[in-house]
Structure 1
Amino acid sequence: MFDKKKTADKGEQPHIGVIGAGLAGLRCADILMQYGFKVTILEGRNRIGGRVHQVTLQNGHAVDLGPNWIHGTKDNPILDIATETKTETGSWDTRSYMFDESGALLSLEESERYASIMWSIIQDAFEYSNKHGGEITPDESLWDFFNREIVQRIPQSEDGHERARKMVLQVAEMWGAFVGSPIQTQSLKYFWLEECIEGENLFCAGTYQKILRSIAKPALDTADVKFEKVVSNISCRDGYQRKVRVQTKGDEVFEFDHVVLTAPLGWLKKNSRDAFDPPLPPRMVKAIDSLGYGCLEKTYITFPKAFWLDTVGGGRGVQGFCQWLSPAYANNNPRRWNQEVVDLASLPESSSHPTLLFYTFGDTSKFLTREVSELDSQEKKDAFLFDFFKPYYSRLPHYNDSSPECRPTGCLATDWLHDDLAGNGSYTNFQVGLENGDSDVEVLREGLADAGLWLAGEHTAPFVALGTATGAYWSGESAGRRIAEFYGFIRNRRSSD
Structure 2
Amino acid sequence: MKSSGSNTEAPGRGPRVLVVGGGIAGLGAAQRLCGHPAFPHVRVLEATARAGGRIRSERSFGGVVEIGAHWIHGPSQGNPVFQLAAKHGLLGHQELSEENQQIETGGHVGLPSESYASSGGRVSLELVAEMGSLFYSLLDQSREFLHVAEAPVPSVGEYLKNEIHQRVAGWPEAEEAKKLKLAILNNFFNVECCVSGTHSMDLVALGPFGEYTVLPGLDCTVPGGYQGVTNCLVASLPQDVMVFNKPVKTIHWNGSFPEAGETFPVLVECEDGGCFPAHHVVVTVPLGFLKERLDTFFEPPLPLEKAEVVRKMGFGTNNKIYLEFEEPFWEPGCQHIQLVWEDTSPLEDVAPAPQDTWVKKLVGFWVLPAFGSAHVLCGFIAGLESEFMETLSDEEVLLSLTRLLRRVTGDPQLPAPKSVLRTRWHSAPYTRGSYSYVAVGTTGDDIDLLAEPLPADTEKAQLQVLFAGEATHRTFYSTTHGALLSGWREADRLIALRDPQVQLPRP
Provide the TM-score with structure 2 as the length reference.
0.82
State the Cα deviation string for residues 449-476 of structure 1 (Å, max 9, x = none): 6350001111112x33111111111111
Shift of 1:66: 0.6
Please state whether the residue corresponding to 1:79 is helix, strand or coil.
Answer: helix
Shift of 1:407: 3.2
Shift of 1:287: 1.3
Match of 2:377 in 1: 356
1:140 matched to 2:154: yes
Find 1:180's aligned residue among 191, 197, 211: 197
* Contact 2:249–2:270, Cα closer than 8 Å, also in 1: yes
1:322 matched to 2:338: yes
State the Cα deviation string for residues 174-218 of structure 1 (Å, max 9, x = none): 211112211222221222244432333223443202212112222
Match of 2:302 in 1: 280
Please state whether the residue corresponding to 2:250 is helix, strand or coil.
Answer: strand
Find 1:338's aligned residue among 343, 358, 361: 361
Match of 1:163 in 2: 179
Aligned-residue Cα RMSD (Å) equals: 2.8
Q: Structure 2 regions of 5+ residues with no counterpart?
A: 1-11, 101-108, 258-262, 345-353, 456-461
Provide the TM-score with structure 1 as the length reference.
0.84
Shift of 1:148: 2.0
Q: Percent identity?
A: 24
* Contact 2:468–2:483, Cα closer than 8 Å, also in 1: yes
* Contact 1:303–1:407, Cα closer than 8 Å, also in 2: yes
* Contact 1:446–1:454, Cα closer than 8 Å, also in 2: yes
Match of 1:85 in 2: 88
Instruction: Go from structure 1 to structure 2 and tell me whether the alpha carbon gap of 1:334 and 1:268 turns closer, same or farther (over 3 Å shift).
Output: closer
Match of 1:63 in 2: 65
Match of 1:426 in 2: 434
Aligned AA for 1:486?
A: L
Shift of 1:43: 0.8
Find 1:149's aligned residue among 159, 163, 170: 163
Find 1:208's aligned residue among 201, 211, 226: 226
Aligned AA for 1:69?
A: W
Q: Matched residues in 1 for 2:75 and 2:156: separation?
A: 26
Shift of 1:239: 7.1
* Contact 2:16–2:280, Cα closer than 8 Å, also in 1: yes
* Contact 2:62–2:374, Cα closer than 8 Å, also in 1: no
Match of 1:447 in 2: 453
Please state whether the residue corresponding to 1:298 is helix, strand or coil.
Answer: strand
Aligned AA for 1:390?
A: T
Shift of 1:88: 4.2
Deviates further, 232-241 or 19-28: 232-241
Match of 1:389 in 2: 401
Instruction: Go from structure 1 to structure 2 and tell me whether the alpha carbon gap of 1:101 and 1:140 turns closer, same or farther (over 3 Å shift).
Output: farther
Shift of 1:444: 1.6
Please state whether the residue corresponding to 1:190 is helix, strand or coil.
Answer: helix
Shift of 1:39: 0.5
1:265 matched to 2:287: yes
Q: Matched residues in 1 for 2:30 and 2:296: separation?
A: 26
* Contact 1:323–1:338, Cα closer than 8 Å, also in 2: no
Deviates further, 62-71 or 265-274: 265-274
State the Cα deviation string for residues 233-278 of structure 1 (Å, max 9, x = none): 1111347863310001111110111000111101111222222122
Find 2:143's aligned residue among 121, 126, 130: 126
* Contact 2:128–2:184, Cα closer than 8 Å, also in 1: no
Q: Matched residues in 1 for 2:245 and 2:384: separation?
A: 31
Match of 2:273 in 1: 251
Shift of 1:85: 3.1
Q: Matched residues in 1 for 2:374 and 2:83: separation?
A: 25
Match of 1:471 in 2: 482
Shift of 1:336: 6.7
Aligned AA for 2:188?
A: A
Q: Structure 1 regions of 5+ residues with no counterpart?
A: 1-10, 311-316, 373-380
Q: Matched residues in 2 for 1:251 and 1:179: separation?
A: 38
Match of 1:13 in 2: 14
Q: Matched residues in 2 for 1:40 and 1:211: separation?
A: 20
Deviates further, 87-96 or 195-204: 87-96
* Contact 1:301–1:411, Cα closer than 8 Å, also in 2: yes
Deviates further, 18-27 or 70-79: 70-79
Instruction: Go from structure 1 to structure 2 and tell me whether the alpha carbon gap of 1:341 and 1:205 turns closer, same or farther (over 3 Å shift).
Output: farther
Q: Matched residues in 2 for 1:283 and 1:396: separation?
A: 49
Aligned AA for 1:339?
A: L
Please state whether the residue corresponding to 2:127 is helix, strand or coil.
Answer: helix
Match of 2:387 in 1: 366
Match of 1:72 in 2: 74
Q: Matched residues in 2 for 1:324 and 1:164: separation?
A: 8
1:484 matched to 2:484: no
Aligned AA for 2:150?
A: E
Shift of 1:54: 1.8
Aligned AA for 2:71?
A: W
